[in-house]
Amino acid sequence: MTDHPHEPSSETPSDKPPLTETIRAKLDEYEVERHLGELASTLEDTVRQGVARVGELAHEHRDDIERLLDKAATAVDRRTEGKHADRISQVRGSLERGVERIAEQRTGGTPDAPGPDVPPSNG
């Protein structure tokens, strides 16, 4: 045995920084916040472009969508023997208003004509 007592390691658990400080230092080192901000910005731009494109498609194909809704409503009405005609009409109106709202999301989009629940302007 040696005359010197066993020396503890230079770092004891109490000398180490808390885990949260270590994680924060690594986050800062790798600029995680900046990268997340850039990712969020890119994602936001992409979603905006997607919404605008969907709006353009809805606007361009409104007639096709209306024909499809008409066919679907007619088929359901026929199969239910007219028992749910009022409800089918309500759902169809909601879908048409939804398509109009989507079409308004296109770049520079404004409705061509006010919908049934939009009063005409007095200006």
Of the pLDDT bands very low, low, confident and very high (cuts 50, 70, 90), residue 118 is very low
pLDDT at 64 over 80: yes
pLDDT at 62 over 80: yes
C-beta separation of 106 from 55 below 8 A = yes
Of the pLDDT bands very low, low, confident and very high (cuts 50, 70, 90), residue 117 is very low
Block residue for tokens 């999301």: 105
Q: At what angle do helices 85-103 and 32-60 cross, to 10 degrees?
A: 120
pLDDT at 120 over 70: no
CA distance readout (Å), 109 to 17, 55, 81, 100, 118: 56, 8, 39, 10, 16
What residue segments make up the domains of the chain, in order of their start?
19-103
